[in-house]
């Protein structure tokens, strides 16, 4: 079986012919010793130091997850292309870390800078977080992170125009490669260098990122990370936000989005005690199935093939664990007033009304001009109305009724409307 049923967005279960050829070519280079066959801690660090000319990696909070990630890599049968992409991703993350730490060393005043009252939009993927972040970020004073700056957080050139061009082009080339390997990505969630995106890559610079588990299927690493104290990586993330905010208008407020925060709300609130958390909710069957379709592209990219049933079981388990951890951390925090819940159906039905409610709660400015920007965006740029992403829970071995039973406490607590299952 080489493909799924035709109506689905993700149909190819394995590399297409041009990628099989590319994978074979990379494998040949591995065999000749031109490219490393095995990714080692020493190789990644040495490559990053050579690329940057730097050697200070900052505090040691990255070391344990870094070593664990490299420890488990041999357990996973990555393709030759997947090995190359993983190696390059790790070298880039380590290079980013070196540059961030160097910038912090050269600008000691940043140590006393504050990231005040950041707003975090979080929720399972495919629950409307992108639409909500885009709408909330239309007003001046709200600072979302664009893809190009997330990918390269530190200036590469002292001239602002040249620097922007260099970092923008890096992001552009990254996306060109991603769309070559997984063209379906454009239909599911198109990313451009200038679009606001999820902030999880900033945690890659500490090698403490659950996406390595979700996207790469490194379940052994993921289990370990869920027991790791994420306070250190969140502190480095906060310092990176300080760097990204340097020279920006006074009073600007971060508006950040990432589903991974669900798993680590305790660490988030420890580092950002005045954070405001907007949590989006949707029928978990739709969330899990939709995300499986999206994340299958990562599985195919790294392994050359998709195992739908294994992927479905893994994501269902991780998502359930995520919502249980999030509810427990929320209750333990004693800060219920710092959480605001948004139902996906309400957001789709009347997004302008939801935006007004969130802004009033989060003390974000909202006037007639802001309302006009929201209405204009909804009439011209709203992406959730395209209906391009087609997926099926059954393809990934997901039982909708079983998911509803497993998530019963979550569904009841947030009164989530459910789609009838035949």
Residue 367 lies in a domain: yes
Residue 7 lies in a domain: no
Residue 180 lies in a domain: yes
Residue 372 lies in a domain: yes
**Rounded Cα gap, residues 313 and 292, in angstroms:** 10
pLDDT score at 385: 53
**Rounded Cα gap, residues 290 and 277, in angstroms:** 23
pLDDT score at 10: 79
Q: What are the average pLDDT values for consecutive 10-residue runs of the chain, which has 422 residues? A: 59 88 95 91 97 97 98 96 96 98 97 96 92 93 95 94 96 94 88 95 97 92 97 98 92 95 98 98 94 92 93 95 98 98 96 96 90 91 65 92 96 94 74
Q: At what angle do helices 368-380 and 351-362 cross, to 10 degrees?
A: 140
Residue 18 lies in a domain: no
Distances (CA, A) of 359 to 241, 400, 421: 22, 34, 35
Q: Are 253 and 121 in contact (CB under 8 A)?
A: no
Mind giving me the DSSP string for 80-122? HHHHHHHHHHHHHHHHHHHHHHHHHHH-GGGGG----S-EEEE
Count of structural domains, the chain: 1
Distances (CA, A) of 336 to 242, 276, 301, 344, 358: 27, 10, 40, 20, 15
Residue 105 lies in a domain: no
Which CATH number is 263's domain given? 3.40.50.300
Residue 165 lies in a domain: yes
Domain span at residue 175 reads 119-414
Residue 282 lies in a domain: yes
């Amino acid at each position: 079986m080489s493909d799924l049923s035709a109506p689905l967005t993700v149909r190819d279960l394995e590399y297409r012919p041009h990628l099989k050829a590319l994978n074979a070519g990379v494998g040949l280079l591995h065999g000749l010793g031109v490219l490393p066959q095995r990714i080692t801690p020493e190789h990644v660090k040495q490559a990053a130091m050579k690329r940057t000319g730097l050697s200070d990696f900052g505090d040691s909070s990255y070391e344990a997850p870094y070593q664990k990630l490299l420890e488990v890599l041999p357990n996973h049968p990555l393709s030759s292309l997947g090995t190359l992409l993983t190696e390059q991703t790790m070298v880039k993350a380590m290079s980013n870390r070196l540059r961030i730490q160097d910038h912090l060393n050269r600008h000691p005043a940043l140590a006393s800078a504050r990231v005040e009252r950041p707003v975090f939009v979080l929720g399972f993927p495919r629950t409307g977080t992108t639409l909500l972040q885009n709408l909330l970020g239309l007003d001046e004073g709200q600072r979302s992170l664009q893809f190009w700056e997330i990918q390269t957080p530190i200036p590469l050139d002292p001239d602002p125009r040249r620097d922007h061009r260099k970092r923008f082009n890096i992001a552009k080339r990254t996306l060109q490669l991603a769309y070559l390997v997984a063209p379906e990505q454009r239909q599911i969630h198109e990313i451009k260098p200038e679009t606001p995106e999820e902030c999880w890559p900033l945690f890659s610079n500490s090698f403490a990122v659950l996406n390595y588990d979700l996207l790469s299927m490194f379940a052994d690493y993921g289990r370990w990370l869920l027991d790791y104290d994420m306070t250190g990586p969140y502190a480095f993330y906060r310092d990176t936000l300080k760097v990204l905010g340097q020279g920006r208008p006074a009073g600007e407020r971060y508006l950040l989005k990432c589903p991974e925060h669900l798993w680590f709300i305790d660490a988030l609130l420890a580092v950002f005690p005045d954070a405001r958390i907007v949590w989006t909710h949707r029928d978990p069957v739709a969330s899990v199935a939709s995300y499986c379709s999206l994340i299958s592209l990562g599985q195919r990219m790294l392994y050359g093939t998709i195992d739908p049933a294994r992927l479905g079981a893994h994501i269902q388990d991780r998502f359930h664990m995520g919502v249980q951890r999030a509810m427990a951390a929320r209750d333990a925090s004693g800060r219920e007033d710092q959480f605001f819940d948004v139902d996906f159906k309400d957001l789709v039905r009347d997004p302008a009304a939801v935006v007004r409610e969130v802004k009033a709660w989060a003390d974000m400015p909202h006037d007639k001009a802001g309302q006009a920007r929201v209405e204009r965006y909804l009439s011209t740029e709203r992406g959730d109305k395209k209906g391009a992403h087609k997926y099926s829970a059954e393809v990934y071995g997901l039982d909708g009724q079983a998911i509803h039973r497993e998530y019963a406490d979550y569904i009841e607590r947030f009164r989530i409307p459910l789609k009838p299952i035949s």
